[in-house]
Amino acid sequence: MIAVICEFNPFHNGHKYIIERVKALTGEAVLAIMSGSFTQRGEVAVCSKFERAETALENGADLVAELPTVYAVARADRFAGGGVRIAQAFSDVHALAFGCETDDLTVLQAAADALKSPEVNALVAAGMKSGEVYPRAFQNAVEAVCGKEVGAALASPNNILAVEYLRALSGGKVKPMPVRRVGAAHDSAEYSGGFASASMLRGMLRAGKSPEAFMPSVPREITRPELLERAVLMKLRSMTAADFAVLPEVGEGLENRLFDAVRKNNSVGEIIDAVKTKRYTRARLRRVIACAVLDITEELQARRASYCRVLGMTDSGAGYLKNCGFRVVTSVAKTLGFDTENADFLRRDILATDLAALAYERVRPCAQDYLTKIISKNSAK
């Protein structure tokens, strides 16, 4: 079995290509470990996790598990680590496939190994001290120590995530399987053939445009992040500087900057604009705000969950669950009743879905994690 860590936000032709490519190369089943109701952008997913899981199953995935929300809204290393641990929990999974611009494993591994270099880390620290953001400081340091080819690989967000996958996989039984991306670049506003970036497609969906040429199916109903604005502001205005201080990626006085910005501004965008610096990027601040709303602390995000929440499966995919070393969650209610170790994580998954329900034009009912059945598909279809 081959694992894929993904967001499918939304599921598009590029995602279908990767699944088909993996199956063509290996002939094996695919486990999709997918972000749920919120994504690493710190934003509500464009449509329901259950609908995205259904689309994935209709387009080649055999089993869809939810990446815990606590990791789904985390920085790259924790996002990667959370997904890799689920993959490693399955005795049948022997490879992790991931889309990237550079599929030369030697180059990607050299970039991953550079993180252990004292020389690279010293240059990163110097770069950040001079005002560079971490990704740029890291890329420059790697280029200086390891050469332009290795440094250039870190110019792409997908390659950066690939490097984190390699770090998380290091020494384990699951091996990396890079797949070169085709079509549009990450976050590109252009399209190529039948391929467009997920960000372009989210924009099209939310603008009421038709993206059928780039997706196997169009979501039935989409979210609009702006509809969460007042709920988010209410949460932020209820917080003290000490409350901000315990969130992931907050330190060095950022809690005070956030607290002051919340008091002086009337929208999430204005708050981010007021706090943003080279060190505190928009992406980082969006994740911090998402963690604030979802009650995700640094202490919780640093912990390791040990469950596999099943969102959907084919009849053949279901057979792999018996070989999962984590607790397999097919009923949220039952699991919360006895699994105290994972309860805090599961509650954030539930809270994320309940919050996402407010982001539709017509507010969706609460408790969908309790009420929605596991999606089941026939493998032959």
pLDDT at 66: 98
Residue 118 gets the label, from left (phi > 0), alpha (psi -120 to 50) or beta, of alpha
- Give residue-wise pLDDT tens across range 282-322: 999 999 999 999 999 999 999 999 999 999 999 999 999 99
Cβ-proximal residues to 244 (8 Å cutoff; 6+ apart), any chain: 250, 254, 255, 258, 259, 288, 292
Question: Residue 270 is which amino acid?
Answer: E
User: How big, in percent rounded to 5, are the helix, strand and coil portions of the chain?
Assistant: 50, 15, 35
Written as six digits, the tokens of 103 are: 């599929």
Q: Does residue 376 surpass a pLDDT of 60? A: yes
Side chain identity, residue 205 = L
37-41, 111-115, 264-268: lowest mean pLDDT where?
111-115
| pTM of the predicted structure, to 2 decimals | 0.94
Residue 187 pLDDT: 52
Q: What is the mean pLDDT of residues 263-281?
A: 93
Of 240 and 183, the structure prediction assigns the larger pLDDT to 240
User: Minimum mean pLDDT among 14-28, 185-199, 331-345: which range?
Assistant: 185-199
* pLDDT band, residue 326 (cuts 50/70/90): very high
* 11: pLDDT strictly greater than 80: yes
Given a cut of 70, is residue 150 above it in pLDDT?
Answer: yes
Q: What is the pLDDT of residue 252?
A: 85
Residue 350 vs residue 185, higher pLDDT: 350
- Give me the pLDDT at residue 194, please: 83
pLDDT in tens, 93-112: 999 999 888 888 999 999 88
Q: Look over the chain and give the mean of its residue pLDDT values, rounded to a whole number.
A: 93
DSSP state of 208: T
User: What is the predicted pLDDT for the residue at 188?
Assistant: 52
Structure confidence at residue 192 as a pLDDT band (50, 70, 90): low
Q: Are 5 and 64 a contacting pair, CB within 8 Å? A: no
Query: What pLDDT sits at residue 156?
Result: 79
Q: What pLDDT, on the 0 to 100 scale, is given for residue 101? A: 85
- Which residues lie below 8 Å from residue 236, measured CB to CB, with a gap of 6+? 258, 262, 268, 271, 289, 292, 293
Rounded Cα gap, residues 206 and 219, in angstroms: 11
Q: By percentage, how much of the chain surpasses pLDDT 90? A: 79
